[in-house]
Structure 1
Amino acid sequence: MSNIVDNAALYTVAVSEPSRAGGAPEDAKELRHHRQDGKGFRNPWDSWKDPSILRILRVILWRRLTGASPDTTPPTVPVHKPQFLTTRQTPQLRATWLGHACYLVEFPSGLRVLFDPVFTKRCSPFSWLGPSRYTEMPCEIEHIPSIDAVIISHNHYDHMSHPTILKIRELHPNASIFVPLGNRNWFTACGIHNVTELDWWEECDMRLSSVVSESDTIIARIGCLPCQHTSSRRLIDKNATLWASWSVESGGKKVWFGGDTGYRAVPELPDDVDDYGEEHNYPHCPAFKQIGDLRGPFDLGLIPIGAYNPRWFMSPMHANPFDSVNIFLDTKCKRALGMHWGTWVLTGEPVLEPPQLLRVALSRKNISEKGVFDVCDIGQSQEIVAVN
């Protein structure tokens, strides 16, 4: 276990060049997820269906006409003040949910990784308009003792926040940032240059060395992996940058971060129809099984479970809990924690439905043990005990 000190001024960081040294599918070099014109990216699977402009307008019009919105009257999701470790010493992998898709993961090696941080009231380009939190932020960036790496899944506003990134740069200037292909320029425009950009199936090594003691060194391998989603920050830049899931391995522990992803595209069906019924055998994204076979197993998966209704519209890009359990099994995660719910109203399902459906979905797969795939309160930490 590393005894490396926490003060950012007392360590140095080195990140290797990206490579495809790890396991990858045979067709990975074909870069089928790159557009043929070289201008952006795409989901190269039958499980993806791009929603038409007419369908998007239909959803927007329906919402405005009906005023339909989930009830966010408290109490909803409990929020606690996080109890971060004050040193880098921990015998177990430890994950703290900070709302939506943001987790701080503390590795036994001493590594501290922050995923998709958004510490603002709204997930929007504006401070006065856009989805507003219905649960409070559990803490501020100032309350996190150590951040060695920040990992971004994609550039949507509920996953990549300009004010948050600037605050991290101010308080943790040595933190290394890892982003999918095409996102580096956004960070350099913010004056941030310690950014590593990776394509799917690429990985790199990060070495964190104490200047006080050469024996105190933390090494991590960080991998960029596929998922099924989209990207944009403006009306004219759809899919100009890549989206990704990620793996982080350090000190013998391995974490998979699902980011934001769908699993399959479901057509419009009556509300009482189960789209996982035997008569509905829709294609699912093959990338997750490839991840499990080639990069798994993982000690912990951080997997999205919310923002899925209406199903016919959201399913290509957002998993519901039944999809999430399949992703969990495909990626060969030994344990998992849910995310991408409980923070902003982005879609139409009741705000407390995702964990309820997760229990149903786990039961269908005969997974009854508590703590295998679970949810936690915002601000709560979970120690991930080793599973054989």
Structure 2
Amino acid sequence: MAPPVAAAGAVGPRPLVRPRTWPRTFADRLTAPLPGVRAMARLAREGAIRPRAEGLHDIPMLPFEPEPLPPVGPAGAAVTWAGHASWVIRTGGLTVLTDPVWSRRILGTPARITPVGVRWEDLPPVDAVVISHNHYDHLDAPTIRRLPRTTPVLAPAGLGRWFRRRRFTRVTELDWWESAELDGVRFHFVPAHHWSRRGLTDTCRTLWGGWMLTDPQGRRTYFAGDSGYGPCFAEIADRLPGIDLALLPIGAYAPRWWLRDVHMDPEEAVRAFLDLGARHMAPMHWATFVLSAEPVREPLTRLHAAWERAGLDRARLWDLPVGGSRVLE
């Protein structure tokens, strides 16, 4: 694991950090072995890859309430959930997209069950994009093609080549605990318990992780990307304390024996929130794509129950509808 570094900013159409040479594989960063042939055979035998019919009945009841983005001044901050892991984060005078997926359908997955919460034409000019890892529900080529090629992109180690092949000119790749700065906002790349693959032969060839954004006012917004539960959250809190908002995944967790190591369930998301010591939590990675076997509304129901059992103030949970926003005070 690389030690913390501070990468300098840049002016003009250059990367924030120059391209680097990375290891051929990041498999040594896995915190649990990936499923083998026996596990895949069991999954095929059980057929538990999508909810049963009764688990899909609540699709019309999923929270979808698009609204105009709230006004935010240069010193303000706000987040808007576009759906799944796609957020519009406005902080320190920048507009940042996380894992932007504006497509109706992604490879190997049924079409969206809720529309995108923010129309592309309603977005402010995008100042930066952060990518957590290369899975298709987090890195969507048709959406990326909509961006100007001069848009600064911050990506995990090894993933920069994917963007440079598409002629993006300001691509920054970071290892865990490294950071880069853009116009006064610091982007820290932090660990996650996950993995990467985009094709048949590139398993763990690129890194995965989350992003902490620290604005000039000292506000910290943590975007977890995809992660199973584990010690990374306490370590993040130790190295980067004072988190104002944690954007944490709560869906795509069933069957548990198959997904436990790479996706948190709602109860584990609450544990991660407590480990992080954050002021607020906003759930994500649910109500958008049907990726696993739990009923579509179950993640939020279980999150509410776990939140209450933990004795947490309900006002600290920002369970936004798709298209909803909150301003960070």
TM-score, normalising length from structure 2? Answer: 0.88
Aligned to 2:6: none
CA distance in 2, matches of 1:363, 1:67: 26
Aligned to 2:295: 350
CA distance in 1, matches of 2:189, 2:90: 19
Which stretch shows the higher mean deviation, 71-80 or 307-316? 71-80
For residues 330-345 of structure 1, the aligned pairs below 5 Å read: 330-345=275-290
1:258 Cα deviation (Å)? 0.3
CA distance in 2, matches of 1:43, 1:255: 28
Rate the CA distance shift 1:90–1:354 in 2: closer, same or farther, 3 A: farther
Structure 1 counterpart of 2:171, from 169, 173, 195: 195
Aligned to 2:129: 150
Rate the CA distance shift 1:337–1:68 in 2: closer, same or farther, 3 A: same
Please list the CA deviations of residues 134-190 of structure 1 after superposition, one character each: whole Å capped at 9, or x if unmatched.
Answer: 111223322201211100000000000001001022xxx442110000101111111
3-state SS of the aligned residue for 1:98?
Answer: strand
Kindly indicate whether the alpha-carbon contact (under 8 Å) linking 2:95 and 2:124 is maintained by their aligned counterparts in 1. Answer: no
CA distance in 1, matches of 2:44, 2:169: 38
Structure 2 counterpart of 1:110, from 77, 80, 93: 93
1:302 Cα deviation (Å)? 0.5
| Paired-residue identity, % | 32
1:15 Cα deviation (Å)? 6.0
Gaps of 5+ in 2: 1-10
For residues 5-24 of structure 1, the aligned pairs below 5 Å read: 16-17=16-17
Structure 2 counterpart of 1:224, from 189, 192, 199: 189
Aligned to 1:375: 319
Which stretch shows the higher mean deviation, 292-301 or 89-98? 89-98
Structure 2 counterpart of 1:71, from 56, 59, 74: 56
Amino acid at match of 2:25: G
For residues 186-265 of structure 1, the aligned pairs below 5 Å read: 186-207=162-183, 219-252=184-217, 253-263=219-229
Please list the CA deviations of residues 258-307 of structure 1 after superposition, one character each: whole Å capped at 9, or x if unmatched.
Answer: 000001xxxxxxxxxxxxxxxxxxxxx22211110111221111100111
Kindly indicate whether the alpha-carbon contact (under 8 Å) linking 2:237 and 2:276 is maintained by their aligned counterparts in 1. Answer: yes
Which stretch shows the higher mean deviation, 137-146 or 195-204? 137-146
Aligned to 1:122: 105
Rate the CA distance shift 1:302–1:64 in 2: closer, same or farther, 3 A: closer
CA distance in 1, matches of 2:190, 2:211: 5
Q: Where do 4+ consecutive residues of structure 1 move more than 4 Å?
A: 11-16, 64-67
Kindly indicate whether the alpha-carbon contact (under 8 Å) linking 2:246 and 2:280 is maintained by their aligned counterparts in 1. Answer: yes
Kindly indicate whether the alpha-carbon contact (under 8 Å) linking 1:178 and 1:198 is maintained by their aligned counterparts in 2. Answer: yes
Kindly indicate whether the alpha-carbon contact (under 8 Å) linking 1:84 and 1:145 is maintained by their aligned counterparts in 2. Answer: no
Aligned to 2:153: 177
Kindly indicate whether the alpha-carbon contact (under 8 Å) linking 2:81 and 2:322 is maintained by their aligned counterparts in 1. Answer: yes
Please list the CA deviations of residues 202-236 of structure 1 after superposition, one character each: whole Å capped at 9, or x if unmatched.
Answer: 011112xxxxxxxxxxx111111000001111121
Rate the CA distance shift 1:329–1:119 in 2: closer, same or farther, 3 A: same
3-state SS of the aligned residue for 1:168?
Answer: coil
1:12 Cα deviation (Å)? 5.4
1:138 aligns with 2:123: no
Kindly indicate whether the alpha-carbon contact (under 8 Å) linking 1:82 and 1:96 is maintained by their aligned counterparts in 2. Answer: no
Amino acid at match of 1:177: V
Amino acid at match of 1:190: R
Amino acid at match of 1:259: G
3-state SS of the aligned residue for 1:163?
Answer: helix
Amino acid at match of 2:320: C
3-state SS of the aligned residue for 2:180?
Answer: strand
Amino acid at match of 2:27: R
1:49 Cα deviation (Å)? 3.7
3-state SS of the aligned residue for 1:97?
Answer: strand
Rate the CA distance shift 1:185–1:13 in 2: closer, same or farther, 3 A: closer
Rate the CA distance shift 1:360–1:43 in 2: closer, same or farther, 3 A: farther
Residue correspondences, number: 314
Aligned to 2:237: 292
Rate the CA distance shift 1:338–1:64 in 2: closer, same or farther, 3 A: closer
3-state SS of the aligned residue for 2:109?
Answer: coil
3-state SS of the aligned residue for 1:205?
Answer: strand
CA distance in 1, matches of 2:135, 2:50: 26
Amino acid at match of 1:100: H
1:167 aligns with 2:146: yes
Kindly indicate whether the alpha-carbon contact (under 8 Å) linking 2:76 and 2:93 is maintained by their aligned counterparts in 1. Answer: no
1:83 aligns with 2:68: yes
RMSD between superposed Cα atoms in Å: 2.4
Please list the CA deviations of residues 184-205 of structure 1 after superposition, one character each: whole Å capped at 9, or x if unmatched.
Answer: 1111111112110000010111
